Amino acid sequence: MSGFVEDVHTTIVENGVSPEQQTMALDKVFWSHFCTNLAPATWVLGALLVGIGLDFRTGLLAILIGNVLGCLPVALNSTIGPRTGLTQIEISRFAFGRIGTRVPSWLNWGCAVGWDAVNNVPSVLALVALSATFGVSVPFWIGLSVLVAIQLAASMYGHHAVQLLAKYLCYVLIVVFSITGAVAIMKGGSLATVHAAIKPATFVLGVSMIAGFTIGFAPYSSDYTRYLPRATKRATIFLLSFSGLAISSTLIEIFGLLTAGRLTDLSAAGVIAGIGALTGPFAPVALIAIAASAISINSINDNTAAYSLISTGIRIRRDVAAIITTACGFALAVAGAGKFAELFSNYLLLLLYWIAPWVGIVLTDWWMFGGARRPPRRWGSGATIFVIVTPLTIVLFSATPIYTGPIAKMLDGTDIGFFVGFFAASLCYALVERRHRSAAAAYPPLVDPVA
């Protein structure tokens, strides 16, 4: 990496970064994880807890438990980056194999495109609303183009520019979002109440939604720690990534929980209008923060998506991969602008079903079997387990507005797919790999006596 420009060749993903390149400052780990939740989507998530039927007490408990469950895998992943120098998805190859890794690579790239749209839609509407306060009418596509151009520039420069942008934008965003939340709560905050008993299924759904949001960063985490020196203490990396993700998500989700009574319209336009009404004279500053939030988040998003696209086996320059990703995200944002809340809630639930088994396999491989201490196979047992467990989890355990599995119906709609996917994949991988390694040790390869 020279200056702000990260190497654009595929080797930066396939081979990782060298020890000589690992000079990143430790504090950037916190900021790259912290900034991902300073967004309207996080605020909406807190409000959605009331929408599904939780009161303030159970909603707060769902936020706390869900963030712990979601942040743990992310923080554990973050400790792997400096030891391998690889991106998070490329680390999968030790369990999935070089060809098998292409499966989660495609899934992560697709999710990144989706998050592009989810993050950009409310931010563009905030930019349009801000312009209107000064008597200027800005079409949606022009506002989107402005934000996307900035995001694309940062992601084309790569890791170093993205990290720097996240750090300094966070300084501003945390102050503005905190003031926005405080003003909104003073003007329209309330403790949500319900008149009927809250079903366990509803509480589990709330926990799953919160956990699904935070665990969504698990396929990204090592991307933003791999430039740390290899001797950096794992405990320090873990604490910085965990605290960065947990503090920001908990704070903004509580703002959403407390203002849910005034955010009755959870469309993108409704959320922006609601926050504007709650903040009164402070609304222009709040709109600036909402508009700027997508810049830091999607710069990280597009950069990781570029890495993932290369990991699919498509050998293109990193900056070209960023352009392709951004263009797809632009198109999806235009198409989905009117269905923000519906797409967002469904997207979170579906997101769990591939990330949970994937991260379970990756962490089991790293912590139980040494991960990078052996060369990757062409197709690993992790890939086989993944392609079996993931669809089975969806078919049997999922409980979404789109589809509810038979076991979820038996459990009164309780969605435990996140937990089943994670533990089932982890256990299956541990058993299969232990047996495979025992067999390999019992029957060592033959040695040619002539060689």
pLDDT per residue as tens digits for the range 121-139: 888 888 988 888 888 888 9
- pLDDT for the residue 1: 44
Instruction: Determine the Cα angle at 36 with ends 19 and 99, to 5°.
Output: 55
pLDDT exceeds cutoff 70 at 347: no
- For residue 385, give both structure tokens: 């387990």
- Which ranges in 53-158 belong to alpha helices (H)? 56-78, 81-84, 88-91, 93-96, 102-133, 140-157
Find the helix or strand (DSSP H, E) in which 257 lies.
helix 234-258
Rounded to two decimals, what is the model's pTM?
0.88
Report the C-alpha gap between 435 and 426 in whole angstroms. Answer: 14
- For residue 188, give both structure tokens: 């329209």
Residue 134 maps to a domain = yes
Give the residue from 415, 424, 410 showing the smallest Cα distance to 210.
415
| Residue 65, CA distances (Å) to 59, 208, 356 in order | 10, 9, 16
Give the residue from 29, 82, 14 showing the smallest Cα distance to 308.
14
pLDDT exceeds cutoff 50 at 445: no
- pLDDT for the residue 450: 36
351: pLDDT confidence band, cut at 50, 70 and 90? low
Residue-level length of the chain: 451
Helix %, strand %, coil % of the chain (to 5):
75, 0, 25
Residue 42 maps to a domain = yes
Give the residue from 25, 23, 92 showing the smallest Cα distance to 359.
92
Question: 111-120, 136-145, 192-201 — which one is most confidently predicted on average?
Answer: 136-145
Report the C-alpha gap between 98 and 383 in whole angstroms. Answer: 10
Tens of pLDDT along 239-256?
999 999 999 999 999 998
312-315 contact pairs (CB < 8 A, 24+): 312/102, 312/105, 312/106, 312/109, 313/99, 313/102, 313/105, 315/10
Q: Tell me which of 65-69, 152-156, 409-413 is least confident.
A: 409-413
Q: Answer for the pair 65, 278: CB distance below 8 angstroms, yes or no.
A: no
Give the bridge partners for 2, in sequence order: 5
Taking residues 102-111, report their average pLDDT.
93
- For residue 89, give both structure tokens: 């998805």
% of the chain exceeding 70 in pLDDT: 91
Residue 430 maps to a domain = no
pLDDT exceeds cutoff 60 at 301: yes
Taking residues 396-423, report their average pLDDT.
83
Residue 126 maps to a domain = yes
Residues 352-387: b if buried by 16+ CB within 10 A, e if exposed: bbbbbbbbbbbbbbbeebebbeeebbebbbbbbbbe
Taking residues 206-232, report their average pLDDT.
92
State the total domains in the chain: 1
By CB atoms closer than 10 A (0-12, 13-18, 19+), residue 317 is: middle
Residue 1 maps to a domain = no
449: pLDDT confidence band, cut at 50, 70 and 90? very low
Residue 448 maps to a domain = no
- pLDDT for the residue 70: 94
Residue 367 maps to a domain = no
Residue 411 maps to a domain = no
Give the residue from 373, 384, 412 showing the smallest Cα distance to 97.
384
Domain around 321: 11-341
Q: Tell me which of 82-91, 352-361, 391-400 is least confident.
A: 391-400
- pLDDT for the residue 350: 67
Tens of pLDDT along 45-80?
898 898 888 999 999 999 999 999 999 999 999 999
pLDDT exceeds cutoff 70 at 341: no
Q: Answer for the pair 148, 120: CB distance below 8 angstroms, yes or no.
A: yes
Give the residue from 51, 114, 33 showing the smallest Cα distance to 256.
51
* CATH code, 219: 1.10.4160.10
Q: Answer for the pair 70, 211: CB distance below 8 angstroms, yes or no.
A: yes
